[in-house]
Amino acid sequence: MSRKDFDEQYEEQYFSYSGDSRTKDPGLRRRMWIAGLLVVSIVVLFVADRYVTLVQPNIERIQTQRDFQSVKSLENDVRKVLDDFGIQQEWVRERSIDIEEIGHVRDLWLIRVPHDLPLASVNLDLKAIVEQYGGKAFAVENTRKARIALHITFRGKVRYSLLFMPTPEVSREAGSIALLVDGIDDAPDGEIERYLASREPIACIIEPHKDNIPLHTQLRKHQKDVVLHLHFRPVTEQESRFELAEDLGEEELASHLHFIIRNFPGSSYYYVTSERALGLHSRKVDDIMHSLGLQKLESATLAYIDRGSRESVMSARMNDIAALSVREGTSIGVVELRDGIMGFLNDEMTRLRKKGFDFVRLRRVLKD
């Protein structure tokens, strides 16, 4: 037998044996599978043990740090909500409750509030803030003592408890404010429509010109308080009986004012401006208007909000008007009616009402 024939015969026998051995010994394959599964199980158990002992505590620490950061930020927002409702910092007493057996700290806030505070609105605003941080809040009411406790939870643990305690010992610093819009005859149609549709007690200043009669009719239809702006020019131009001038005689002045009132019926208030000081002439105007049943609005009592300012500056000016109402009991704010003004006023009225300010009709302020 040649070497080549021997090699071929050996190779055929070898592969024939190997194939037969795999086919005829299925137990070997099972043992190999079992061994593989054991190895995989050991690796999984090792990784799981490393995760439990090393990784998971780090994750919990990171989560705890994030919770504390969220709680700190939340605390600032909670204080802002309380301030939005006129709750002063000195009305709040803070205590920490350390629950050692579970390693948990709860902050208890004892908050004295005036009886007129809308606690339901306070709770709603606080719940909305808490939800933004992934926490939950629930309120518990003690009807016998008229107290409400709001509990704030994180990851199933109560982190804050706010106890609101109505008491006559504290009161919010707030007054009554009347608002007026000026320049309505030059305002955009859309803003005029928003003003007419508004149910807020916002009065309107209008110049008694012939072209403004239809607009005045709409104002009366929507039951708006109207203030007539009487502006005197230095010299009579005799263009119209709606025009007023400083050199009008007493009879002419009375005739012009009667004519204006007849064409702008239902108006209850007026105020006077001129390019020069009216002096004694102003007394004549006041006597005539008083006889016609109109009440004077002093220009010195009006606090104007500059429409050309940034919204933040306008909001700061509204705060000045609110502060004036605290000092004087009442105040009157005026702003020119332009695009976006009604939205601005609605937002500011909502903000200041939370603090306890009251927005009233002009007659309430002038009566006081």
pLDDT band at 17 (very low <50, low <70, confident <90, very high): very low
- pLDDT tens, residue by residue, 262-286: 999 988 899 998 877 666 677 888 9
Would you say residue 30 has pLDDT above 80? no
109: confidence class by pLDDT, cuts 50, 70, 90: very high
**Which domain-ending residue is among 135, 166, 197?**
166
Both 149 and 207 in one domain: the answer is no
Whether 136 shows a pLDDT value over 70: the answer reads yes
With 80 as the cut, is the pLDDT of residue 34 above it? Answer: no
The 3-state secondary structure of the chain reads CCHHHHHHHHHHHHHHHHHHHHHHCHHHHHHHHHHHHHHHHHHHHHHHHHHHHHHHHHHHHHHHHHHHHHHHHHHHHHHHHHHHCCCCHHHEEEEEEEEHHHCEEEEEEEEEECCCCCHHHHHHHHHHHHHHCCCEEEEEEECCCCEEEEEEEECCEEEEEEEEEECCCCCCCCCEEEEEEECHHHCCHHHHHHHHHCCCCEEEEECCCHHHHHHHHHHHHCCCCEEEEEEEECCCCCCCCCCEECCCCHHHHHHHHHHHHHHCCCCCEEEEEECCCCCHHHHHHHHHHHHCCCEECCHHHEEEECCCCCHHHHHHHHHHHHHHHHHHCEEEEEEECCCCHHHHHHHHHHHHHHCCCEECCHHHHHHC
In this prediction, residue 114 has a pLDDT band, given cuts at 50, 70 and 90, of very high
* Claim to verify: residue 207 and residue 157 sit in the same structural domain: no
User: pLDDT tens digits, residue range 303-321?
Assistant: 999 877 788 899 999 999 9
Q: Let me know whether 222 and 321 are in one domain.
A: yes
Which pLDDT does position 14 carry in this prediction? 44
Domain range for 347 is 176-367
> Per the structure, how many domains does the chain have?
2
My answer on whether 74 and 197 are in the same domain is: no
Residue 10: the pLDDT is 45
| pLDDT exceeds 70 at position 191 | yes
Instruction: Single out the residue in 117, 144, 166 at which a domain terminates.
Output: 166
CATH number of the domain enclosing 127: 3.30.460.10
pLDDT value at residue 2: 53
Residues 286 and 156 in one domain: no
Give a yes or no: residue 24 inside a domain: no
Is the pTM here over 0.85, yes or no?
no
